Structure 1
């Protein structure tokens, strides 16, 4: 039987000196010396983690420490240990050492002999070591600086005068184009965010970041491709399994077993291997009797099944085993013509049901990936489910995530949009690079393909968009050219190499890029779209989300400060830096022009203060309003079959890799920002939405002096269930200044299944028609609720006149009552309130001590509509509330 033995003990590490300095783009020839050796405190590990453990470098998450640790990534490092090939292992026909992940360039030596030069952080390497014989052996890993290796490779490639190194306009020699980091990163198969991004620091990690082990075997199961196919009625399911065995012996077989997660066997079969070491089965099942269908969260349950493969010799001796976990489902990307709309749809259909995808983009959860435990991943992904999200996009500038990330997505019902690891760059496509990418892609697809949650592979993040931005003309109709000889050589990767790998290894849909579709990457009518004309680009008001919609918006966002506790963490007690424009706060926001852009949106909409806590509050409310508006308006575009004008929205981003101000809706310490809750409300199964606009009608087209202005109002609802829903729509118009209700209506409505439904189109009740520009509109707040037949509030939304900076806020009479359990809060008011954010009145100085988990934040309130907030961990302490116009500085 095969055996797997970890090589995880007695590791030590040292820095090599002197640091190599490129000399004419060539490595230094000066002999390097080992400095003092130190034992690692854990394995797998990274140099930064070990140095912090020994207090040799400061925490880069605090203050300006990021800039004091750059020498680590520009140094060479060595790790060493010993391992034993036992007598039992040596009797096996094959003895390999498997390196699941080396970051990034690495010379591997056994007993002083180099057996591997690794150069791809994403690859798993397998090295035969049986020749070294039984007994103890030394294992040494030498990691040259990826920073300098990238610079060296770049300089060598620049000498070749390649098409991609010519400016498309001037023809002058230039480096490859990129957004974020450094141009040299494009030549290195390493997590690209390590060079720094517009939300993350420069942390050039190095070391053995995944397990290393000895694998001894006679023969082994190398893979099992499992496809589940449903018939057109979705009542029968087919399972196809193709097992591959390496070093297979004559007259051997594989026994395949399908069982549920309790271990109950559903079907089993033994198959002889063919001459290629393969065994294939095809089984039919009845849905609802033999197996159940897997659904995304909110659409049904997530039953999972185990497919076990056992490789046996002719006499029945077990040689190798493998177990995969699957779900029975079919996921399709539907792109078809729309009714009375240009372009085509871009939607996900699961088991024949079209699903609106509301979710988030995912970046690596830490700069130090070895610190990302399974428990931490589960907490992150559970937050998404708690926030009513059903899709996560693994962004192309990070890593193919750990296996348990995808396992958890399977269990929770989170659909996975998986990018290949290329981001914001004009990547090369030379022979060596392509060979490395080929292996990387094959390994990634084989690792992910059996996961029920996997919905789509995308070739890269924004690489076509980047090339368009620098003037490269992309002929999207050209499918035959040798792209490696053009100024966009990576098209060969995205349109030939990767689709060939995906189609040969699995059934998952492949998308060349994100965004991609139409004749430009910015086409709003075809494919997916990254809508950054709010914040970036033309810096549109967020109220224009409706006209900025795409068929599937896979990126959009707005920055907001994290919890004040997180700010205080990075300030590290430096009270002199506790103001928004401080050097430390600016260092913890990596977005270009963030001061101007934050202030643009703040000044357009708020009267705000500049003390630290006020700035945190206002940017958080702004982020919450911006993102909620996007989901509200785009979900309205999900109008039913043939009218899926917008089929999904994935906010940039769910998480952070360090404590910072960014577009994340949950900060590094997993403290949800108010935006998290605002999005969660817009992704509930039932929602109600409103939109108002001033409509100006001229009496005479030749004159601007005579006109009428009315305030239009539209109301709609959303239903994500597959059944129609009967409800009561209550609409209340409240005059904020006069402090009274001016109109109240109640109407019976029916929400169409799996679609939005229009309820009302007219004018704001109580708002007079204006005939002079100097006439101020009344401050009418319109509240809408959907009430279930049993009296339950299904959804609520309050529509306020904007911008809020013009509003003179009166006293609102907010009261907060704490229940007997000390954690149930009931909020009520006498006049409408905008943007309530709750906190404990007295915070602990300990960052995590006594923190409260709130069930809701960024709350809008209407009189007579009390709202309940659960505050886990409050324990009866006093609560304070902040809201617009509350008199705070």
Structure 2
């Protein structure tokens, strides 16, 4: 008997359109757009207005072709399978002229037995593999017409995406272009074997926690092949990087509906090292090794990295309604992170190194969670491996977004296969701590008055309503998760109020919410964010432009480098984007006419809104009123204006740094009382609110709150100092305030609430500066500005930017400075950006790399 061998079909691929007779060389994996770009047959859709010139690509039938020799097979018991890890999406596959597969799900892999169709090895004749991709849009419309019994309600895009199991954002979104791809987007290979390992499943339960944890584990191994009798299984478990077995499994064989299965006896691992999210402990991983043996021959082997952790979604009644936060290994975790969309419209451009670099940005930025959004893809293994390694918790949506999906039998079958595939693939990643049914599908219930009765507990009856997808999210998917990924909680939707309320979308007392009254909806001022929280805010955001260095990569004409150019606005897909962005800008800042100034002010405003949200909602962790904040969004699929805090070129915006500062493990926060500067509130004489602007507010008296956050597990003792600095002169407007504080581990402590501080009105507007000192070291710093910024004068700030050597630049000022930003570019790294400067505080030291030894261009508000 011989060992399994894999032959990767990465060469000799060609492609053509259905109307062409000429095949052109290409690579696999690839998408049709990248293949066409390689031959200069289309213009780059990321540049200028080129997106619209390539729409024909999505409506064309494409042919892919390759040849390969017949692999050697030792005897009649040898199996030969052709494996497609990913086909996008409607693909008719034939081998040597015989149809072998009709694929229709981008998210599935396919294994097809092909031994009987191969040419005899001795003939030396090449086997011909052909794949024909039918346009997804065309097939989607056919399915819509074929199922008139379903109301295909689809938001953001045209209706054809509804019944198609493909990345929904390929149809475009309010941050991405319409680029409906196709192609062989993952590897193709041929496996030759007599016996092989199929599914490897390691179920475990953490039964004792602490330094000497104990874990009970059971491993199941499926075996496939024409010859499986007489084989044996060896299973070992050891700490990664340490070597040596901590566990050697014995078990027995049984047969189930899928074939021969080895079932290991339940074993107890004493002294187990648990996996922890970043900031709470080590990311301990174990190596699970499985071998399939026939006498002395290793027929197949697999190695998996697994980690042991106990993940709980805590939803308990409390004074604020019902909680929503995560508890890992018995420790309550405040989740601070970002939402994730595909990092490129053309997925095959991304490498494992790219994914690690993206996830590293979370760890560097004091974030501990990433939410994989339901309109993209189930990300590749490299994504989750990076999260495991760096301690980033993963909220994983199933791939449904902003639509009322159908439930006809063939569609449900596709969903079940898809869910099983990815549950089995991802369940051993300790970073994955939540499966979520969909993104925003329940919003359609309220918007279109669809049927949703929380008291109806019959899944079969849900199928007969005009919202049959409830069957998917509250029956099919949770059943599969319970059976196949039992150590990971499940949540029906994001947002979702657990069916306890008919208000399914934004109920601040239960479940998670998407807070889009900022930007969308009523366009509430971002200064109102402290009162706009929920039990868990899984989406919110504010737009900004990327850095000029990124803009210059997709706007090719100098005449278009201004705020109102058509190419620039075309790279912002949000509805009413100019009106909404400019409204927020003009309400808060003096809007510059130059592109450089416009970019800067938009980024400062995004950072301000982000700071308001993260610091005020983190403060509510004190009573578990808010269990987490995930900004929409971390990244982009192409270079554009969007809600991202890191742009397509992986250049960080000031909002990324704002999160990093606010989410430091130990820090201080300060927020002054903010009243609308466009409204005079009603009083005894004025019986209603009026539209008078009171320019005196912020002068003479300031009311503020100050608090300390400690997300470490150790008690912290320190001193909080609050200063009041005149914006106009840079001098202190009154004496400082100080408090000695003791903050327990994993606690937020209010130092003062509603503190009233009067100062000389001649000092004008003042900034409130809070500093936290621990052991003689400044560990926390926060500034509260008078709002709006546009009323403040920023002349003669006395800014000094000095290169002090070893890649360090020191920045200081004689008067308060708002929004100091270095111009960043791809490949450059700075330790801080988008910060404020306050006289009397230590100079801000910024470590720089990739800046060519020069101080980058910089600007600040009012410069």
**Aligning the two structures, in what range does the TM-score lie when normalised by the shorter sequence?**
over 0.9
Match of 2:470 among 481, 488, 491: 491
Match of 2:737 among 725, 729, 745: 745
Match of 1:406 among 363, 372, 384: 384
**1:629: Cα distance to partner?**
1.0
Q: Deviations over 1:243-264 (max 9, x none)?
A: 2223473343311100222333
Higher mean displacement: 462-471 or 552-561: 462-471
Distance in 2 (alpha carbons) for counterparts of 1:184 and 1:280: 46
Query: Is the 8 Å Cα contact of residues 242 and 281 (structure 1) preserved in structure 2?
Result: no
Distance in 2 (alpha carbons) for counterparts of 1:127 and 1:738: 76
Higher mean displacement: 257-266 or 563-572: 257-266
Query: Is the 8 Å Cα contact of residues 743 and 765 (structure 1) preserved in structure 2?
Result: no
**1:873: Cα distance to partner?**
2.4
Query: Is the 8 Å Cα contact of residues 733 and 783 (structure 1) preserved in structure 2?
Result: yes
Distance in 2 (alpha carbons) for counterparts of 1:433 and 1:625: 44
Partner of 1:636: 619
1:270 to 1:675, Cα distance in 2 relative to 1, 3 A:
same
Distance in 2 (alpha carbons) for counterparts of 1:89 and 1:180: 54
Match of 2:787 among 791, 802, 821: 802
Partner of 2:276: 295
Match of 1:98 among 83, 90, 95: 83
Distance in 2 (alpha carbons) for counterparts of 1:4 and 1:473: 51
1:711 to 1:782, Cα distance in 2 relative to 1, 3 A:
closer
2:752 is aligned with 1:757: no
Query: Is the 8 Å Cα contact of residues 767 and 778 (structure 1) preserved in structure 2?
Result: no
Alignment of 1:709-858 (within 5 A): 711-741=702-732, 742-767=734-759, 778-789=764-775, 791-821=776-806, 823-839=807-823, 852-858=828-834
Partner of 1:238: 216
Query: Is the 8 Å Cα contact of residues 468 and 474 (structure 1) preserved in structure 2?
Result: no
TM-score, normalization: structure 1? 0.90
Query: Is the 8 Å Cα contact of residues 253 and 273 (structure 1) preserved in structure 2?
Result: no
Q: Secondary structure at the match of 2:444?
A: helix
1:739 to 1:79, Cα distance in 2 relative to 1, 3 A:
closer
Partner of 1:383: 361
Query: Is the 8 Å Cα contact of residues 829 and 861 (structure 1) preserved in structure 2?
Result: yes
Query: Is the 8 Å Cα contact of residues 253 and 271 (structure 1) preserved in structure 2?
Result: no
Q: Deviations over 1:741-773 (max 9, x none)?
A: 12213321112311211001244534469xxxx
Q: Deviations over 1:384-418 (max 9, x none)?
A: 11111111111100100111111111111111110
Partner of 1:258: 237
Distance in 2 (alpha carbons) for counterparts of 1:727 and 1:839: 35
**1:375: Cα distance to partner?**
0.8
2:145 is aligned with 1:155: yes
2:653 is aligned with 1:673: yes
1:735 to 1:211, Cα distance in 2 relative to 1, 3 A:
same
**1:701: Cα distance to partner?**
6.5
Q: Secondary structure at the match of 1:96?
A: strand
2:301 is aligned with 1:321: yes
Q: Deviations over 1:86-145 (max 9, x none)?
A: 232664432111111000000000111111110000011111111124333211101111
Distance in 1 (alpha carbons) for counterparts of 2:735 and 2:818: 20
Match of 1:868 among 845, 853, 858: 845
Higher mean displacement: 620-629 or 230-239: 230-239
Q: Deviations over 1:528-584 (max 9, x none)?
A: 111111001111111111111011111110100001011111111x12211111110
Partner of 1:169: none
Query: Is the 8 Å Cα contact of residues 246 and 269 (structure 2) preserved in structure 1?
Result: no
Distance in 2 (alpha carbons) for counterparts of 1:216 and 1:694: 69
Query: Is the 8 Å Cα contact of residues 400 and 439 (structure 2) preserved in structure 1?
Result: yes
**1:75: Cα distance to partner?**
0.2
Query: Is the 8 Å Cα contact of residues 674 and 787 (structure 2) preserved in structure 1?
Result: no
2:522 is aligned with 1:530: no
Distance in 2 (alpha carbons) for counterparts of 1:539 and 1:695: 16
Higher mean displacement: 104-113 or 128-137: 128-137
Query: Is the 8 Å Cα contact of residues 728 and 763 (structure 2) preserved in structure 1?
Result: no
Partner of 1:220: 196
Distance in 1 (alpha carbons) for counterparts of 2:797 and 2:339: 38
1:448 to 1:694, Cα distance in 2 relative to 1, 3 A:
closer
Partner of 2:24: 38
**1:810: Cα distance to partner?**
3.8
Query: Is the 8 Å Cα contact of residues 252 and 272 (structure 1) preserved in structure 2?
Result: no
Q: Deviations over 1:597-624 (max 9, x none)?
A: 1011111111111211111011000101
Unaligned runs of 5+ in 1: 18-33, 166-175, 770-775, 841-846
Partner of 1:204: 180
Partner of 2:691: none
Distance in 2 (alpha carbons) for counterparts of 1:131 and 1:477: 55
**1:494: Cα distance to partner?**
0.9
**1:232: Cα distance to partner?**
4.7
Match of 1:330 among 285, 310, 321: 310
Alignment of 1:473-512 (within 5 A): 473-482=451-460, 483-507=462-486, 508-512=488-492
Alignment of 1:205-604 (within 5 A): 205-234=181-210, 235-247=213-225, 249-262=228-241, 263-276=243-256, 277-278=260-261, 279-287=263-271, 291-313=272-294, 315-338=295-318, 340-341=319-320, 343-482=321-460, 483-507=462-486, 508-517=488-497, 518-519=500-501, 520-572=504-556, 574-604=557-587
Distance in 1 (alpha carbons) for counterparts of 2:21 and 2:178: 25
2:617 is aligned with 1:606: no
2:668 is aligned with 1:688: yes
2:117 is aligned with 1:139: no
Distance in 1 (alpha carbons) for counterparts of 2:576 and 2:675: 34
Query: Is the 8 Å Cα contact of residues 249 and 264 (structure 2) preserved in structure 1?
Result: no
Match of 1:7 among 6, 9, 12: 9
Q: Secondary structure at the match of 2:846?
A: strand
Query: Is the 8 Å Cα contact of residues 702 and 758 (structure 2) preserved in structure 1?
Result: no
1:852 to 1:663, Cα distance in 2 relative to 1, 3 A:
same
- Could you say what the CA RMSD is over the residues aligned between the two structures, in angstroms? 2.2
Q: Secondary structure at the match of 1:607?
A: coil
Distance in 2 (alpha carbons) for counterparts of 1:654 and 1:139: 40
Distance in 1 (alpha carbons) for counterparts of 2:146 and 2:561: 46
Query: Is the 8 Å Cα contact of residues 194 and 367 (structure 1) preserved in structure 2?
Result: yes
**1:179: Cα distance to partner?**
1.6
Match of 1:703 among 685, 688, 691: 685
Query: Is the 8 Å Cα contact of residues 818 and 824 (structure 1) preserved in structure 2?
Result: yes
Query: Is the 8 Å Cα contact of residues 329 and 350 (structure 1) preserved in structure 2?
Result: yes
Q: Secondary structure at the match of 1:658?
A: coil
Q: Secondary structure at the match of 2:83?
A: strand
Distance in 1 (alpha carbons) for counterparts of 2:74 and 2:785: 72
Higher mean displacement: 135-144 or 234-243: 234-243
Query: Is the 8 Å Cα contact of residues 105 and 117 (structure 1) preserved in structure 2?
Result: yes
**1:874: Cα distance to partner?**
2.9
1:3 to 1:197, Cα distance in 2 relative to 1, 3 A:
same
Q: Secondary structure at the match of 2:33?
A: helix
Q: Deviations over 1:816-871 (max 9, x none)?
A: 111122x201111111111111238xxxxxx75xx531111111111121211112
Match of 1:58 among 43, 60, 69: 43
